[in-house]
Amino acid sequence: MNQRLLIVTGKGGVGKSAVAAALSIQAARRGRRVLAIGMTEADGLAFHLGLERLRYSVTEVRPGLHAMAINRPEALDEYLRFQLGVPKLTRIGPIARAFDALASAAPGIRETVTIGKVLNEARSNNWDLVVADAPPSGQIGSHLRAPRTISELVGTGKIREQVRWMHDHMADPARTGLIVVTLAEELPAVETAEMLEWLDAEELIDVAAVISNRILEPLGASVPVGTTGAVQEAAALHAGIYREQQRWLKTLPVDVQLPFLFGVTGPAEVASRLADVLEER
């Protein structure tokens, strides 16, 4: 995970935003200048950074740790002006609206605006690390594939010239890595395996790590024979979840296991405790 851009994805509910926040917090603690970007409309990244919500303009969360969220109208405005060179004096409103409507029908264009913003920040000299809290695994494919989709779809046009560098930047394992977060449970494990297979075939981005979240330690010992009630039940549940998790872990090439966190009271605490765990590694 030494790349300057880490794109974090995973099935909904696995703790993708928590892991993205934890990676950002841990890097910032080590003195790196970090930008965390929320790529979707959900506020998960904001909560895990201890904020109510994020804006398009970058805010400093704590020394070294910065955050923003991609808001489509603003990202589009910036894209049209700086990437496509719409002149300053032009009223951008109607153009942006027309572009957005057309982009909602033509594949790859909206995604290019979003992923383009992330890639642009990553290649600027402003940050040592950019962590993107990306769309869930069901939608990440169209984002990662956006540059290729456009070069297939658009014969001429300025946007076609744009996507070349995006594709190269994303496909370069020295610069960009994908982090796939999962749980050791049936649905997330199956979805993760399918996604890894797809990623392997498409060769769009290097998978920097598969992170399995909420993993229990072994129970330690079995409870003494004859124990009943709560102690016996708790031990049985622990052992049962542990067994189920080990079974699904075997189906995935997991690089990092993050622990199940007992007793957490808020999302910011989740992210900061996961950052502690990453720190110890």
Partner 1 sequence: MSIPILVTGAGGVGKTTVSAALGVSLARQGLETLVLTVDPAKRLASALGVQHLGGEPTANPDLPTLWAAMLDADSSWDEIAKRHASPEAAARLVNNEFFRTITRHFPASQSYAAAEKMADYLESNKWDVVIVDTPPSAGGIEFFTAPTELSDLIGGRLFRWITGGSLPGRRELYNLAARPALRVVDIALGSDLLERVTMFLFDLRTTYDGLRARAKEIEKHFRRSITLVVTTAEPAPVIEASKFFQALPDVAQPPKAVIFNRVLPVAWEKAEAPDGTPRLLARNLALWAREARRQEQVRDEFAARYRTNVAQIGWQATAPTDLDALGSLIADVPALTAKGLGL
DSSP conformational letter for 157: S
- Residue pair 177/207 in contact by the 8 Å Cβ criterion: yes
Which residue from 1, 84, 249, 277 is in contact with partner 1, where contact means CB under 8 A? Answer: 84
Give the residue with the Cβ less far from partner 1, 69 or 254: 69
- Half-sphere exposure (Cβ direction) of 106: Cα atoms closer than 13 Å: 17
Overall residue count recorded for the chain in this entry: 281
Give the residue with the Cβ less far from partner 1, 1 or 187: 187
Q: Does residue 68 belong to the site contacting partner 1 (CB under 8 A)?
A: no
What secondary structure does DSSP assign to 110-135, as a single string?
HHHHHHHHHHHHHHSTT-SEEEEEPP
List, edge to edge, every strand of the sheet that includes 206-215.
59-62, 65-69, 34-38, 129-133, 5-10, 176-183, 206-215, 256-259
Give the residue with the Cβ less far from partner 1, 173 or 237: 237
Site string for partner 1, 121-140 (x = CB under 8 A): ---------------x-x--
Smallest separation, CB 28 to partner 1 (Å): 21
Give the residue with the Cβ less far from partner 1, 210 or 271: 271
Give the residue with the Cβ less far from partner 1, 85 or 200: 85
Helix axes 267-280, 16-29, angle to 10 degrees: 60
Smallest separation, CB 94 to partner 1 (Å): 4
Q: Does residue 12 belong to the site contacting partner 1 (CB under 8 A)?
A: yes
Smallest separation, CB 15 to partner 1 (Å): 8
Which range in 1-9, 63-71, 100-108, 197-205 contacts partner 1 by CB under 8 A? 100-108
Query: Which residues ranging from 152 to 171 are in contact with partner 1 (CB under 8 A)?
Result: 153-160
Angle (CA) 185 190 196, round 5°: 125
Cα 75 to Cα 113: distance, rounded to the nearest angstrom: 7
Query: Which residues ranging from 227 to 266 are in contact with partner 1 (CB under 8 A)?
Result: 227, 229-231, 233-241, 243-244, 262-266
Smallest separation, CB 69 to partner 1 (Å): 12
- What φ, ψ does residue 126 adopt, rounded to 5°? -80, -25
